[in-house]
Structure 1
Amino acid sequence: MNAFPPPYYPTRTRTGSNSLPQTQGQESTEHVFQLKDSRRQPWATLRLFSGARSPKSLPTFYESDKINGILELDGDSSIKIITVAITGRLIAGARVDDIKTFVNVMHPIWSRSSSVPRTFSTSEGVRGSRLTGRCVWPFSLSFPCRPIFRSGEVYQLPETFGEEVTIQYELTVDISRGMFRSDDHIRTAFSYVPCSIPEPSSALRQLAYEERIPIPDPGVDVEGWKSLPAIAVHGLIAQSRPAEVQVTLSLAKPLSYTRGSVIPCFLKFSSLDVQALDVARPGDSIKLYLRRTIKYQRPSDSKFNWNEATKDVCTALWWNPPNTSGGTDRAVRYLEGEIQLPKDLKPSAKVEHFSISYTLVLYLIEMTGFRTIGTDLDRPLLSEPVRIVTMYAGGPHPISYLEHPLHMIL
């Protein structure tokens, strides 16, 4: 196997907390939604304050946020009740029966009836049983981040999603009137981001990140890696001589990884036949993918069959490690690598009728000088479930050791 230079170890500043994103106490983005009369003059205005980067973007709320807003409208004696509602829905098809509501929270703003709670307002026109003049209500809603479902399970709500199925969150202001009068509504979809945090890395890996040095391999940092059972690959060298290569995959622990960061991985190849390692060229014969699986049920399906869609979202890149605890034994070869996770990768999630899960799958590729026997190349050699999260653990953040240009990558 060709020798490649070691990766670049970038300078990083230690970060001591996961720094959950919150809009409280920070400058937030104002989003304005209006209802207008026949003269194109606004008579009702909803202002929402969120963590979105632009007023033109959808309002964005994180798990730890309050949903803060202001409702302003011109008083009208026909109005009976005003409410604000938060709804989360799974949309699994075009039929109405394929829409499943998993969050529904209603907050009263004002009611003609004195028995219904009212949101505090300093406006004079809201005090009686009729709305008059300019009426203003500030409100602050708590988002039910971990609702309890009929099964009794407590779930973390999924992030806004829209591919095979849609996870949609919506805020609605309902302005209800009496009989023979039409009601009015202000609606906006919003983006929701859960705050999921991994457990800390091992002490040795954290030290490597802090000191900007290579992370210790599985032979040194036993607690920092999960080494999967070795897989025996049988084959023929030069179409005649049988040989066996043992493949061991190690994954950085814990098996929870923050999107936008990396998954460190390590491969060990061993054989009693050194020539098998030479002709097999481990760097060219292995592919490690991060596979996403979407599972969902259509509520209209009386049999509640699960639908499934899989996608390989990213691939590991490999290099020869600068040194290993295994020394220079010619009967053993090592590869160090990482999977770079996209910043917009959806986190693992599960609610009733819907889930997003991830698995690392290792495939063997057909080799020129080593013809495999008894190995189905269309099936993974092994797989391991992992979790994708949205936040960092405390301590130094994981470092990507790949340098751009990628001349050391196999």
Structure 2
Amino acid sequence: MYDSPPPLYGVSSDDSDTGLPGYSQAVSLDAIKFDSSASFTHNLVFKGRSSNSCASLTLYGDGSFSKEFPTYLEGSTLRGLVKVNLEKPESISMVVVSIRGEIVSGRSKHAFFESSETLWFHPAKSSRKLQGEHTWPFAMNIPQQVKLTVGPNDSLRPESARLPHDCLEMRVLAGVEYQAAVRFYRPSPLKTDYRIIAPFGYIPVIRPHPPSYHRQIAYKENVEIPNPAVDPQGWCTLPPVWIAGFSRQAVKATCTLSLALPLSYTRGSVIPLYLTLQSEDIKALEALSSPNTIVCRLRRTIRYLSAEDFRETNYCHGKLGKFQHDHFELATWWLPSTQAWEKETFKRSLCGEIVLPRDLKPTTFVGQFRLEYSVVLLSFASNGLESSGSNTNQNILLTHPVQIATAFAPGPLPRSYAPEL
């Protein structure tokens, strides 16, 4: 993750002259102007003798991001308005608005930050009750960093964390939730306080470092990005893995996967890949190099360590409680262009991409909650092929961690080179 974002450079004006689509600046956080807001109002009817007494909480989110609920970009101020209309006098001692971020797992919730502001309080010497119409606007800063205390009780330690993206989905192990609330305190302990609770979203600005010089030139000039042999500084090449067995024959082949550097990719763009296959068996090599046989995906891992997990887990050895894997987008593969690809007898190379959805949640680390991503190469989808590597977990041949970001790197925007289907 990176600090405050530098300005985003424009994309080449030659985009319309090629078949290589550049990603629109509408995807980027940098190119969006916050000259409009979206309002979301939650109402409350006071219980009692008068059905006309009511209150409301309105939040004003960034108009470009707010859909189901108000959403705020890192560095934004949460603005809102509390209204109350009391037809008859009501015993209220104080009106407080608060914002809160929580890690949610099942029915348990753990707050990692909370801030509050008193909008109104009853004068100490006054016996008058609150009545009539009242309006209280408010503005609250959303912190970019939070200080946490993590670890088991016998070895607690302080830790700073970037405020995470909201992430609350059904059927997931844990997630991150934000809420704004207004509370009408009542002086009598026998009476329940009135509350209005409203969800909101938050987007941290996570920006990758720029890609290699040669890849930036390729993006700018609308040409195919250079492969690892031409641009070794622009790729992370993983150790080769052996693939054995084809049509019940003792055949050996090696597979080498490369991921474009840096290993941080903006949602709404792509993860560029490059795959090299080598074998002295031409028939096996042709089968392996068919784009339909290569199974490479983006995998999301959610990890959460609850208080109970601390008692059951050897925390000192780095184990992190419960986890959940989800496989996302499948990579698309194609042969390099005829200008850049020469068919070698015992070697085949393919270009690939994993398309990242625009609403993909970014990589997150906060307290005992982790949302991580990796690129995994699975067993080839061809009959009679087996991997000879030691990693047999879910037929994974290769895996490597990557970061998902929310903003583009400085320089020309990334492009998709996958052929149209």
Structure 2 length-normalised TM: 0.79
**Segment drifting more, 327-336 vs 349-358:** 327-336
Within 5 Å, which residues of 2 pair with 1:221-232? 221-232=231-242
One-letter amino acid of the structure 1 residue matched with residue 134 of structure 2: C
In structure 2, what is the equivalent of residue 90 of structure 1? 103
The structure-2 alpha-carbon separation of the partners of 1:388 and 1:310, relative to structure 1 and needing over 3 Å to count, comes to same
**Segment drifting more, 42-51 vs 143-152:** 42-51
In structure 2, what is the equivalent of residue 381 of structure 1? 397
In structure 2, what is the equivalent of residue 352 of structure 1? 367
Instruction: Give the whole-Å Cα distance in 2 for the aligned partners of 1:400 and 1:61.
Output: 29
Instruction: Give the whole-Å Cα distance in 2 for the aligned partners of 1:61 and 1:26.
Output: 13
1:174-211 deviations in Å (ceiling 9; x for gaps): 11121255421111112222221111112221222222
Q: Does residue 393 in structure 1 map to residue 412 in structure 2? A: no
One-letter amino acid of the structure 1 residue matched with residue 160 of structure 2: V
Deviation at 1:257, TM superposition (A): 0.9
Instruction: Give the whole-Å Cα distance in 2 for the aligned partners of 1:378 and 1:160.
Output: 26
Q: Does residue 277 in structure 1 map to residue 285 in structure 2? A: yes
Deviation at 1:106, TM superposition (A): 1.4
Name which of 147, 158, 182 aligns with 1:152: 158
Q: Does residue 60 in structure 1 map to residue 74 in structure 2? A: no
Stretches of structure 2 that go unaligned for 5 or more consecutive residues are: 1-17, 150-156, 314-320
Within 5 Å, which residues of 2 pair with 1:11-410? 11-12=21-22, 19-20=29-30, 25-37=34-46, 39-41=50-52, 43-51=54-62, 57-74=68-85, 78-94=91-107, 98-112=108-122, 134-150=133-149, 151-158=157-164, 159-163=166-170, 164=172, 165-179=174-188, 180-235=190-245, 239-240=248-249, 242-301=250-309, 303=311, 305=313, 306-323=321-338, 327-365=342-380, 367-368=382-383, 371-372=385-386, 374-375=388-389, 376=392, 378-404=394-420, 406=421
| Number of residues of Structure 1 aligned to a counterpart in Structure 2 | 379
Identity of aligned residues (%): 30
One-letter amino acid of the structure 2 residue matched with residue 210 of structure 1: K
One-letter amino acid of the structure 1 residue matched with residue 333 of structure 2: W
The structure-2 alpha-carbon separation of the partners of 1:239 and 1:186, relative to structure 1 and needing over 3 Å to count, comes to closer
1:66-100 deviations in Å (ceiling 9; x for gaps): 10012233475732222111111222123xxx321
Instruction: Give the whole-Å Cα distance in 2 for the aligned partners of 1:54 and 1:215.
Output: 32
Secondary structure of the corresponding residue to residue 161 of structure 1: coil
Deviation at 1:168, TM superposition (A): 1.7
The structure-2 alpha-carbon separation of the partners of 1:212 and 1:302, relative to structure 1 and needing over 3 Å to count, comes to closer
In structure 2, what is the equivalent of residue 123 of structure 1? none
Structure 1 length-normalised TM: 0.81
One-letter amino acid of the structure 2 residue matched with residue 382 of structure 1: L
Secondary structure of the corresponding residue to residue 311 of structure 1: strand
